[in-house]
Structure 1
Amino acid sequence: MTTFVDRVELHVAAGSGGHGCASVHREKFKPLGGPDGGNGGQGGDVILVVDQAVTTLLDYHHSPHRKATSGKPGEGGNRSGKDGQDLILPVPDGTVVQDKAGNVLADLVGQGTTYVAAEGGRGGLGNAALSSARRKAPGFALLGVPGGLQDIVLELKTVADVALVGYPSAGKSSLISVLSAAKPKIADYPFTTLVPNLGVVTAGSTVYTIADVPGLIPGASQGKGLGLEFLRHVERCSVLVHVLDTATLESERDPVSDLDIIEEELKQYGGLGDRPRMVVLNKIDVPDGKDLAEMVRPELESRGYRVFEVSAVAHTGLKELSFALADVVAKGRAAKPTEEATRIVIRPKAVDDAGFTVAREEDGLYRVRGEKPERWVRQTDFSNDEAVGYLADRLSRLGVETELMKAGARSGDGVAIGPEENAVVFDWEPTVMAGAEMLGRRGEDHRLDEPRPATQRRRDKQAERDEAEKEYDDFEPF
Structure 2
Amino acid sequence: MAKFVDRVVVHATAGAGGNGCASVHREKFKPLGGPDGGNGGRGGSVVLVVDPGVHTLLDFHHRPHATARNGKQGQGGFKAGANADDLELAVPDGTVVLSPEGKILADLVGPGTRYVAAEGGRGGLGNAALASAARKAPGFALLGEPGSTCDLVLELRSIADVGLVGFPSAGKSSLVAALSAARPKIADYPFTTLVPQLGVVTAGEEVFTVADVPGLIPGASEGRGLGLDFLRHIERCSVLVHVVDCATFEPGRDPVADVQALEDELARYTPALGGLLADRPRLVALNKLDVPDARELADMVRAELVERFGWPVYEISTATRQGLRELTFAMAEQVREHRAAQPFVEPTRVVLRPTAVDDAGFTVEADPELPGGFIVRGGRPERWIRQTNFENDEAVGYLGDRLARLGVEEALAGAGATPGCPVTIGDVTFDWEPSTPAGVAVMLSGRGTDRRLDQTSRASASDRLAARIDRRRHRTDEELLTGAAEDEE
TM-score (norm 1): 0.90
Q: Name the CA distance, whole Å, in 1 between partners of 2:7 and 2:262.
A: 24
Q: Say if 2:444 is the partner of 1:440.
A: yes
- Report the counterpart of residue 360 of structure 2 in structure 1: 354
Say which of 291, 305, 311 aligns to 1:300: 305
Whose Rg is larger? 2
Amino acid at match of 1:401: E
**In the alignment, which residue of structure 1 is the partner of 2:432?**
428
Which residue is equivalent to 1:472? none
Letter in 2 for 1:292: L
Deviation for aligned residue 1:308: 0.5
Deviations 1:331-352 (A, max 9, x none): 1111111122333333222211
2:97–2:154: 8 Å Cα contact kept in structure 1?
A: yes
Matched, 1:282 2:306: no
How far off its partner does 1:328 sit?
Answer: 0.8
Identify the residue that residue 118 of structure 1 maps to in structure 2.
118
- The one-letter code of the counterpart of 2:429 is V
> In the alignment, residue 188 of structure 2 is paired with which amino acid?
D
Report whether the alignment pairs 1:2 with 2:7. Answer: no
Task: Pick from 272, 287, 291 the counterpart of residue 296 of structure 2.
Answer: 291
Q: Which amino acid aligns with 1:3?
A: K
**Per-residue Cα deviation, 1:160-213 (whole angstroms, up to 9, x for no partner):** 000000100000000100000000010111110100000000111110000011
SS of residue matched to 1:351 = coil
Instruction: Summarize the Cα distance change of 1:444–1:51 in structure 2 as closer, same or farther, 3 Å threshold.
Output: closer
Match of 1:468 in 2: none
The aligned runs of 1:360-439 (5 Å cut-off) are 360-363=366-369, 364=371, 365-418=373-426, 423-433=427-437
1:467 counterpart residue number: none
Q: 1:444 to 1:243 in 2, by over 3 A?
A: closer
Q: Does the Cα contact within 8 Å between 1:137 and 1:444 map onto a contact in 2?
A: no
Q: How does 1:219-230 map to 2 (within 5 A)?
A: 219-230=219-230
The yes-or-no answer on 1:138 pairing with 2:146 is: no
1:338 aligns with 2:339: no
Q: CA deviation at 1:222?
A: 0.7
Residues 1:161 and 2:161 aligned together: yes
Show the counterpart of 1:309.
315
Number of equivalences? 445
Alignment of 1:116-265 (within 5 A): 116-265=116-265
Distance 1:390 1:260, change over 3 A: same
Percent identical pairs in the alignment equals: 64
- Secondary structure in 2 matching 1:116: strand
- Structure 1 SS opposite 2:405: helix
Sort the Cα spacing of 1:293 and 1:403 in 2 relative to 1 into closer, same or farther, 3 A: same
Once the two structures are TM-superposed, the CA of residue 444 in structure 1 deviates from its matched residue by 10
Q: Distance in 2 between matches of 1:371 and 1:433?
A: 21
Determine helix, strand or coil for the equivalent of 1:48.
strand
Deviation at 1:249? 0.5
What is the match of residue 11 of structure 2?
A: 11
Gaps of 5+ in 1: 446-453, 459-478
Give how far 1:431 is off.
Answer: 2.3
Give yes or no for contact 2:157–2:235 (8 Å, CA) kept in 1.
Answer: yes
What is the CA distance between 1:215 and its match in structure 2?
2.3
Map 1:66-145 onto structure 2 (within 5 A): 66-145=66-145
For the 8 Å contact 1:17–1:144, the answer to whether it is kept is: yes
Partner Cα separation in structure 1 for residue 220 and residue 448 of structure 2: 73
Indicate whether 1:325 and 2:325 are aligned.
no
Unaligned runs of 5+ in 2: 271-275, 450-461, 467-489
The CA deviation string for residues 402-451 of structure 1, in whole angstroms up to 9 with x for no partner, is 11111111111110001xxxx10001112224798896347699xxxxxx
Provide the rounded CA distance (Å) in 2 between the counterparts of 1:204 and 1:440: 82
TM-score in terms of structure 2 length: 0.88
Aligned residue number for residue 269 of structure 2:
269
Supply the distance in 2 between the matched residues of 1:85 and 1:306 (Cα, whole angstroms): 55
* Cα distance in 2, alignment partners of residues 298 and 265 from structure 1: 23
Aligned residues of 1:389 and 1:435 also touching (Cα < 8 A): no
1:465 — aligned with what?
none
> RMSD over aligned Cα, in angstroms?
1.9
SS in 1 for 2:278: coil
Letter in 1 for 2:297: L
SS in 1 for 2:284: strand
| Native 8 Å contact 2:15 2:147 kept in 1 | yes
Q: Is the 8 A contact 1:135 1:442 kept in 2?
A: no
DSSP 3-state at the match of 1:273? helix
Q: Residues of 1 paired with 2:293 and 2:394: CA distance?
A: 91
Aligned mates of 1:164, 1:230 — CA distance in 2: 12
Amino acid at match of 2:411: E
> Residue 484 of structure 2 aligns with which residue?
none
Alpha-carbon contact 1:42-1:84 (below 8 Å) kept: yes
CA deviations 1:300-347 (Å, max 9, x no partner) are: 111211000000111111111111111111111111111223333332
Is the 2:393–2:448 contact (alpha carbons within 8 Å) kept by the matching residues of 1? no
AA aligned to 2:329 is: F
Using the alignment, how far apart are the partners of 1:383 and 1:343 within structure 2?
A: 45
Shift of 1:8: 0.5
- CA distance in 2: counterparts of 1:162 and 1:228, whole angstroms: 19
Partner amino acid for 2:350? I
State the match for 2:479 in structure 1.
none
* 1: CA distance, partners of 2:396 / 2:439: 9
